[in-house]
Structure 1
Amino acid sequence: MNTGEHSGNLIADIKNFILKTPVFTKFVLIISTLLYILTLIRAIILSSNIQATALISYFQIWQYYLTPFLWAYFIFELAIYWIIASITERRIGTVRYSIFFIINSTLLQFMYLILVLTFSLAPIWINSGFFYILYPSLWSVLMMEITITFNKNPYYIHKIPHLSWEIKNFIIPWIIFVVLSLLFPVLLRLIAGLILGYLYIRKHLSCMELSDAKVEELENSSVFRYLKSFSTFISYQSVQELPIGNEPFLGIQTINRPVSPLSQSDHEYELLEGNDEFTSEVEIKTDK
């Protein structure tokens, strides 16, 4: 599904988006929801084994099944991940994305564990970070993919309607990072996602790249044969270039404002696939 296809009917567009969600993205959403529910059940069981003073002091277990806000931010997390992951899977294909997700989720869990152990003031067995480790939160992966996606074409400029503000793509991940950090208790996960995202952008993890020949071999292997039977499987031959910036994003209008060569050199970002395809879409002018 091209992100630019709209029928004018919001319900029809949402239904179309759900039906055309790439297969691995849909698989991750289902598994994450099941694991989250299991985590809540485990928290309820654990609550009977924790002293009342600990519950009052840290207010951790109660949050898992008595606070609607926790459900709200999990649903919000799934919704944003759904959009970003769908874009990413269509851009690099199902095989590349599934390997990308599994390897990076593992790396992010280790990074997050290190951050929790480093910054925890309370004992790890009672600190909230411990309970978040029990299920693979999408927040770190989400922050990483947002960072990579917007830096795919970092020099697009967005104009916010009715305001004179203009925002470049590479600034948006940092705005999202600040907003999510203030709204939800996921600061360390977001930091882990940012770090890994910029490691990819700077090509420090280029060893994880897969050639087209290797991807084709994997697509025909028994591991991916089941996924390939779904109509929403994205083969490496049918990937779409969907950089955020070619169309309005969340109501923000995109304009082709010329970018200064000096500012461009200050923010020279390259992704695994490179960004040569965008050179024709960005005009350059010299600052006066």
Structure 2
Amino acid sequence: MFGLIQANGATAMIQVLPIPAFNDNYIWLIKNEQRTAILVDPGDGQAAYHFLKQHDLTLTAILLTHYHRDHGGGLEYLQQQYQQPLAIYGPKWQATPVGKRAPQKRCPEAFTEVAAGARLEINQLVFRVNAVPGHTLEHINYVLEDDTQHVFCGDSLFSAGCGRVFEGTMSEMYHSVSSYLDFPDNTLLYPAHEYTFSNLAFAHQVEPDNLAITDAIKQVAKLRQQGLPSLPVTLSHEKKVNPFLRCDQPTVLQAVQLHCAEAITTPEMVFSALRKWKDES
């Protein structure tokens, strides 16, 4: 359910490894047998570069899910370490709407813009791009197409949670989060933050009788005590513990209705009420 992943791809053996950054970020690193590496959301350039040098890896590309500084703030430092320009891919830049209170964003000086539906081939690996706006307007995810699908979620989806709605609408975020339900159950999800334990605590508030949540809290507590990541997770696991993916469940609907003391009738309304409840907790 939890832990590091090594996979046999159709063209190469890959490993996906987390590089801890700041207090709770993960920079995901994808490496192959040729010791070439791709970074996803390198907010901390020094942490990423140290890991690359320590493991004798050659950086060939960087994937950005969105432009918050804790996801792309390390680009300048990384570029300074290499003589050749780095291949940087990211969504179309969209400034934070006027009046929205949101973390600071920064547009890279030079990058290749990728849109929903795009396919990238890097290091003999193929990535598909999906739009998942809400947290920011431009937010995307990357799907590594393999025998098992690997989805790099950025801040659109966390284990047992989802990102705050800073720039988009609740409706956009609901549809973005719900889109993850279209993946196969064995899909591996790679969120960009170690928020799992606190998210599970909130999930337990919503569904105190959900045994899958209770078990997950115990497992994640052990992992974190050992200094191990709680990520990645499978979609099948998230379907059992993530309230934002369970908006159609009667137990979640009932909990939201009791908390809000008002009539809530649709999964989208449940999602919006859950996100506001989480924001206030």
TM range (shorter): under 0.3
Higher helix share: 1
Higher strand share: 2
TM-score, normalised by the number of residues in structure 1: 0.27
Larger radius of gyration: 1
Q: Which has the higher contact order (CA 8 A, sep 6+)?
A: 1
